[in-house]
Structure 1
Amino acid sequence: MDILVQPLNRLIQAEPGANLLTVLQAAQVPMSYSCMAGRCGTCRCRVRAGEPRGTVDDEAAEVLACQTYLTEACTVEIPEPDEVVVHPARIVKATVVAIEALTHDIRRLLLRPAKPIAYSPGQYVQLQFSPAHARPYSMAGLCDDALLEFHVRQVPGGRVSGYIASDLRVGDAVKVSGPLGSAYLRRQHRGPMLCVAGGTGLAPVLSILRGALALGMRNPMHLYLGVRSPRDVYGLDALQALQRQHAGLSVQVVAASGGDGQGLRAGLVTEALAQDHGDLAGWRAYLCGSAPMVEAATRLVRHKGIAPAHIHADAFYPQGG
């Protein structure tokens, strides 16, 4: 059967029942992948015609190539062939180096991996602290760093975050699995970048900004950090250090319960963004934080002209805290 791959407009042959990712790899079509088990989302692509078995998002007609099997001729659209990343997922043992308070309910967790783990800025991993305590967390640094940095908000009644705050100790072993996620830095983009972070969504955004500057990207960069109240603000020192490296980085901190007279804006982060910007066509958006915030920001930036394929979102869904 024929498989048409867009935007390459390339026709390749496949046997009925073949795995889509395997077919693409055999034809040397550039395609991102990681875990090969349907967890990481890295190999997500869109079905433009036909109905291969394995659809994960009916509304968007998206599939995970590693979990999709070909049953008829079809057309698939792969994401940005010039932005392929391949970081084979692995499991690495790490040791807790530090657990530090960033705010009244956010902890900075530092781990020293026994072996390096490769990832792209903006990706995340699964951390397992015990057989009963495991959860995904985003890295705040770069894969060349000696330590892995995570920002953990303690959720009231949260099983995993409560364990980290109360029971985890320096020297404890942690299992790190990954990397996961497709909201990673697009290195080839030369236009403006918009980063919207809610709470600990600042962690992957910091990774993205640090990665962009490490690569020498000089794009205009606009960060909107939304918090519940002034006491929830953290990371300003790190952001100011990044601003000293790149004059084109602007930072807006927005508190839902009101500003504090020290540079914070009052309201919702989406309200501030709507006030500040008109047409955003040609921009890239990186949206990280709670699912309601990410969904609202996605609707807004699409309305302002950012193409859906250029919106890279990492929504944090409740998983028992």
Structure 2
Amino acid sequence: MDETTRRAFSIANIQDGSNRLELHIGGAKQSQYLADILGYLHNAYHQGQRLLIDAPHGCAWLRENSERPLLLIAGGTGFSYIQSILRYSLNHYPERDVYLYWGGCYQEHLYFDDEVTALSQEYEHLTYIPVVEKASAGWFGKIGQVINVVYDNFQSLEDMDIYLCGSRDMVCGARYCFVRYRKAVISRVISDALM
């Protein structure tokens, strides 16, 4: 918002020739910081101001030279990064097996659940597993922490490419657990940790 107030966000959309940049900004709890960001963006948009962004950094892009199954794991708004990997993969490699696990504290935190469910019905190679920590009446998905559900569902992750996005604690814990106990290959565990 100025030289001293910067925030990193994962890009949620794929390059499609438009000038559109999709970010997922949310918060499970109300915070003044979040309110300031959303207020700033709202005002800038309505005043026709241009926003200056710093180009993407890091190395968390989809590795296209692999035919291994994809394991995509998102916590909360970490789905933004996972969504871009998912959409690119479905567009360019629709025959590649994809397992998507998306976790949130409550069902409403899975804000694109209907869209992802529809994609999983459209693409036979996409398996979608929604996970909530606190289930409401009528919830038929998995209950618990998303990383624990993945851990329980796979005895070995040795032959998979794994993409993670969520809190730093979630990402670090998953990397450690998957490599140590589920034979994941560390060089094939790609992550974008939220700050």
1:254 aligned residue: 131
- Matching residue within 9, 12, 15 for 1:143: 15
For residues 71-86 of structure 1, the aligned pairs below 5 Å read none
Q: Give, in angstroms, the shift of residue 231 of structure 1.
A: 2.6
Instruction: Report the alpha carbon displacement of residue 138 of structure 1 after superposing the two structures with TM.
Output: 0.9
* Closer, same or farther: CA 252–167 of 1 in aligned 2, 3 Å: same
Matched, 1:273 2:158: no
Between the two proteins, the alignment pairs up a number of residues equal to 188
Structure 1 residues 225-264: aligned runs within 5 Å: 225-258=102-135, 260-264=137-141
Inter-partner Cα distance in structure 2 for 1:271 and 1:216: 28
1-structure distance, mates of 2:194, 2:151: 22
Contact 1:210 1:242 survives alignment (8 Å): no
Q: 2:26 aligns with which of 131, 142, 153?
A: 153
- Point out which structure has higher relative CO (alpha carbons under 8 A, 6+ apart): 2
CA contact (8 A) 1:270 1:300 kept: no
**Matched residue type, 1:304:** R
Equivalent pairs: percent with the same residue?
27
> Match of 1:296, as an amino acid?
G
Equivalent residue number for residue 307 of structure 1: 185
8 Å CA contact 1:287–1:313 kept in 2: the answer is yes
Q: Give, in whole Å, the separation in 1 of the partners of 2:177 and 2:17.
A: 34
C-alpha separation between the residues in 1 aligned to 2:191 and 2:100? 14
Kept after mapping to 2: 8 A contact 1:287/1:311 = yes
Moved more, 256-265 or 269-278: 256-265
Matches within 5 A, 1:122-141: 129-141=1-13
Question: Which consecutive aligned stretches of 4+ in structure 1 deviate over 4 angstroms post-superposition?
Answer: none
Return 5+ residue gaps in structure 2 as ranges.
Answer: none
**Normalising by structure 2, what TM-score?**
0.87
Aligned counterparts of 1:283 and 1:298: Cα–Cα separation in 2: 13
**Whole-Å separation in 2 of the counterparts to 1:182 and 1:196:** 17
Q: 2 CA distance for matches of 1:156 and 1:234?
A: 17
Q: Cα distance 1:139–1:260, how it changes in 2: closer, same or farther (>3 A)?
A: farther
Q: Quick check: which one's strand share is greater?
A: 1
User: Equivalences for 1:170-249 in 2 at 5 Å?
Assistant: 170=45, 171-249=48-126
Is 1:166 paired with 2:39? yes
Name stretches of at least 5 consecutive residues in structure 1 with no aligned partner: 1-128
In structure 1, what is the equivalent of residue 165 of structure 2? Answer: 288
How far does residue 262 in structure 1 lie from its aligned partner after superposition? 3.2
- CA 1:143–1:158 in structure 2 vs 1: closer, same or farther (change >3 Å)? farther
The TM-score with structure 1 as length reference comes to 0.55
**How far apart, CA to CA, are the structure 2 residues paired with 1:133 and 1:156?**
19
* 1:232–1:182 distance in 2 versus 1, CA, 3 Å: same
Larger Rg belongs to: 1
Show CA shifts across 1:174-229 (max 9, x none).
11111212111011111111111000000000000111112124221111111011
Shift of residue 241, structure 1, vs aligned partner? 3.8
Cα deviation, residue 259, structure 1: 5.2
**Alignment RMSD (CA, Å):** 1.9
